[in-house]
Amino acid sequence: MKSVEGSVGPSKCEENIYRTSSICLHAFSDLSHVPPATFVYLLKECYVCGTHKATHKFRVLQQQVTQALCNSPQPDPSTFVVHCLHLLPSLGPPYAEGFSHLLVSSLRRLKTSKTIMSDSIETKHHAARLCHDILTGSLLHEERILIKILEIYNLELKDFGEVICGLEHDGMLDIAKAHMERHIFHFIESESYMTAVTLLERFEIHLSSQSLLVKMMQNHQFKAAEKWAKFMGKSMLCLLVQTYLDMKLLKNAYDMIKRNNLKQEFPDVYHLYKESSLKKLAEKGCWDIAELRTNNDRQLLEYLVYLAMEAGYTEKVDELCERYSLQGFAKVTVTDAIISEAHFLDSAKLVVDEILWIDELDGLVSATNYIERCKLVGIDCEWKPNYEKGSKPNKVSIMQIASENKVYIFDLIKLYENEKEVLNSCFSRIMCSPNILKLGYNLQCDLHQLSGSYGDLKCFRHYEMLLDIQKLFSERTGGLSGLAKKILGAGLNKTRRNSNWEQRPLSQNQLEYAALDAAVLLHIFYHVRGKPQATHSKEEFKVEWKSHIVSHLENTTRKKAS
């Protein structure tokens, strides 16, 4: 059909959608004469006719249903929802599951806001009948819906007893309990442990056997096991903790001890877990966090000192001993055995003759002139870690640029403060030079951090001839140290990775750590290019590297250079 202006009118499909949405809007505004079957049908039509994605449609529908349940459903909102839940399985998946959760959550919202009165005896009887039908399998609803119905209608054993036996019957509770136990054992046999435990807890049914806990632990159903043990009491909680310890799940054991006040029963576990936690932090180089986690516990502080000794982090040993007045560790030296066992790369192995600290004008100009004559350099950055979640990252503190046998370490914070314009000019000559191939590892992270720290400097937004070594290898586990170990036969000591890079002066160990991170890039590249140096292993890596060189100008799209 055509309109007066001659344009084509709405299609039959569009008319049906408009008519359906109009009917739904009218029906939802007054449920006093809308039976549950009609409501369920209209609910499906609303969803089917919606044009948005599923998550958005359900969110909008939930708002509409919550509001609709305030519009006089008969005989009351709670009973109306029960009748709807009886009908929903007929829709089949996925509508039955989705709409069931939608209706139950909408009713919970109303009850939370106290918009509706508490459930009547008749309503609870209908809800118990619904749950009984689900348990016996005559009505197909998923287990999560069953649990939600039990909770929202606050059903008890007597409600099920009335459904099974009638309102008046001797031994009604015993019969209801026996029926419920059979259903619970069925859930246990089918390994639906959380459902089984929830029913046991809700109806206060105690099983004396420990076999249920054992089964749950064997199947790694830890949340269900913890829920069950807490319900059963202290002896079961202790058994659960011991099982965690036997399974070497120290954190799980520690959490249960802490939550249930079992320190007296397991006095050694606290320090075992804390020591394990400190060791993991030390391995990641998170020494400041590790120190905070000791909570000034002397035993843990001494353990942290031993970890620093083992890692060869001598300045951290001295720092901790001085700060906490720890005796017996002063002037400690790392044994040759520890150093030999670690087998890390050092400046001698990488043929680094000079490590030069640059924090003033003459040094900056001299370093720039030298670097401009190089064809290949390695670049890396360091900044003070920030452990506060959601807080702004700290400024990049230093940038290291390594040539064949020399590493310059630039104090960016001081140079930016005192020689901003010269810094921008000098680094533009380096970063924008098409004659210098600049190597990095995970360059995107460093460049992002630089632009965020010094966004007003053009030198960190415009660059040429960059090669990210990381992108040349498909396996990226172990970071730069892991890559160095794979190719050069020894890794980098990452102990000082998360140290305070804003302290001045930096320690000699910090300077060497920073220098090696840049210098090792050249040696890895030489191996990739097929010209192994004396420090390299015999294994050859044939990698196509030229196609990975990138250039970048003012945040525009990247272009490849061959």
Q: What CATH number corresponds to the domain at position 531?
A: 3.30.420.10
| Cα torsion 134, 139, 145, 150: sign | negative
Main-chain phi, psi angles of 560, to 5 degrees: -90, 145
Using alpha carbons, list the distances in angstroms from residue 196 to 147, 180, 184, 375, 515.
10, 10, 5, 70, 60
Rounded to an integer, the average pLDDT of 144-163 is: 93
User: 322 is in which domain, residue-wise?
Assistant: 276-342
| Cα torsion 456, 457, 463, 468: sign | negative
Question: Is residue 48 domain-shared with residue 168, that is, in the same domain?
Answer: yes
Question: Is residue 441 domain-shared with residue 375, that is, in the same domain?
Answer: yes
CB 438 within 8 A of CB 463: yes
CB 3 within 8 A of CB 10: no
What are the pLDDT digits (tens) for 516-533? 999 999 999 998 887 544
What are the pLDDT digits (tens) for 411-469? 999 999 999 999 999 999 999 999 999 999 998 889 999 999 998 999 998 889 999 99
Question: Is residue 519 domain-shared with residue 413, that is, in the same domain?
Answer: yes
Angle between helices 143-152 and 95-112 (to 10 degrees): 20
Question: Is residue 366 domain-shared with residue 494, that is, in the same domain?
Answer: yes
CB 52 within 8 A of CB 60: yes
Closest CA to 28 of 72, 87, 75, 79: 72
Check residue 440 and report its DSSP letter: E
CB 99 within 8 A of CB 88: yes
What are the pLDDT digits (tens) for 398-427? 999 999 999 999 999 999 999 999 999 999
- In the prediction, which pLDDT does 428 show? 95
- In the prediction, which pLDDT does 77 show? 92
For residues 107-146, b (16+ Cβ closer than 10 Å) or e, as one string? beebbeeeeeeebeeebbbbbbbbbbbbbeeebebebebb
CA 231 – CA 147 distance, rounded (Å): 17
Question: Is residue 436 domain-shared with residue 321, that is, in the same domain?
Answer: no
CA 245 – CA 254 distance, rounded (Å): 9
Torsion angle (degrees, nearest 10) of CA 370, 407, 514, 415? -30
Question: Is residue 378 domain-shared with residue 328, that is, in the same domain?
Answer: no
Question: Is residue 368 domain-shared with residue 512, that is, in the same domain?
Answer: yes
At 10, the pLDDT band (50, 70, 90 cuts) reads very low
Please report where in the chains the tokens 């399985």 appear, as a residue.
89
Residue 243 lies inside a defined structural domain of this protein = no
CB 270 within 8 A of CB 245: no
CA 326 – CA 23 distance, rounded (Å): 79
User: Which of 222, 257, 292 is the endpoint of a domain?
Assistant: 222
Residue 108 lies inside a defined structural domain of this protein = yes
The count of domains in the chain is 3
Residue 149 lies inside a defined structural domain of this protein = yes
- In the prediction, which pLDDT does 555 show? 47
Cβ burial of 166 (10 Å; 0-12, 13-18, 19+) is exposed
CA 486 – CA 474 distance, rounded (Å): 13
With a cut of 60, say whether residue 504 has pLDDT above it. Answer: yes
Residue 98 lies inside a defined structural domain of this protein = yes
- State the DSSP string of 273-306: HHHHHHHHHHHTT-HHHHHHHTTT-HHHHHHHHH
CA 394 – CA 386 distance, rounded (Å): 7
Cβ neighbours of residue 154 closer than 8 Å, sequence gap 6 or more: 119, 124
For residues 470-485, b (16+ Cβ closer than 10 Å) or e, as one string? bbbbeeeeeebbbbbb
User: Which of 342, 372, 397 is the endpoint of a domain?
Assistant: 342
The full 3-state SS of 221-269, as one line of letters, equals: CHHHHHHHHHHHCHHHHHHHHHHHHHCCCHHHHHHHHHHCCCCCCCCCH
Task: Tell me the three state secondary structure of residue 539.
Answer: coil
- In the prediction, which pLDDT does 100 show? 93
The token pair that represents 342 in the structure block: 């670690």
- In the prediction, which pLDDT does 562 show? 38
Residue 151 lies inside a defined structural domain of this protein = yes
CB 363 within 8 A of CB 523: no
Cβ burial of 91 (10 Å; 0-12, 13-18, 19+) is middle
Please compute Rg for the chain using Cα positions.
35
The lowest-confidence range among 62-76, 180-194, 547-561 is 547-561
Structural element, H or E, at residue 380? strand 376-383
| Cα torsion 55, 133, 66, 203: sign | negative
Rounded to an integer, the average pLDDT of 46-66 is: 80
What mean pLDDT value characterizes the chain?
85
Q: What percent of the chain has pLDDT over 70?
A: 86
Residue 250 lies inside a defined structural domain of this protein = no
- Parallel, antiparallel or unpaired: strands 406-411 and 550-553: unpaired
Rounded to an integer, the average pLDDT of 373-386 is: 94
Using alpha carbons, list the distances in angstroms from residue 284 to 102, 248, 288, 289.
45, 21, 11, 10
Cβ burial of 26 (10 Å; 0-12, 13-18, 19+) is exposed
Closest CA to 479 of 340, 205, 283, 315: 283
Question: Is residue 302 domain-shared with residue 192, that is, in the same domain?
Answer: no
CA 67 – CA 95 distance, rounded (Å): 20
Give Cα 300 to chain centroid, integer Å. Answer: 28
Question: Is residue 477 domain-shared with residue 530, that is, in the same domain?
Answer: yes
At 172, the pLDDT band (50, 70, 90 cuts) reads confident
Cβ burial of 180 (10 Å; 0-12, 13-18, 19+) is buried
Question: Is residue 338 domain-shared with residue 383, that is, in the same domain?
Answer: no
Task: Tell me the three state secondary structure of residue 521.
Answer: helix
Q: What percent of the chain has pLDDT over 90?
A: 52
CB 292 within 8 A of CB 323: no
What are the pLDDT digits (tens) for 16-46? 444 445 555 566 788 888 899 999 988 888 8
Question: Is residue 163 domain-shared with residue 308, that is, in the same domain?
Answer: no
CA 352 – CA 346 distance, rounded (Å): 9
Residue 327 lies inside a defined structural domain of this protein = yes
Predicted model pTM: 0.60
CB atoms near residue 371 (< 10 Å): 21
User: Which of 308, 342, 376 is the endpoint of a domain?
Assistant: 342
- In the prediction, which pLDDT does 116 show? 66
Please report where in the chains the tokens 């083992």 appear, as a residue.
310
The token pair that represents 540 in the structure block: 């050859």
Question: Is residue 290 domain-shared with residue 415, that is, in the same domain?
Answer: no
- In the prediction, which pLDDT does 552 show? 67
Residue 348 lies inside a defined structural domain of this protein = no
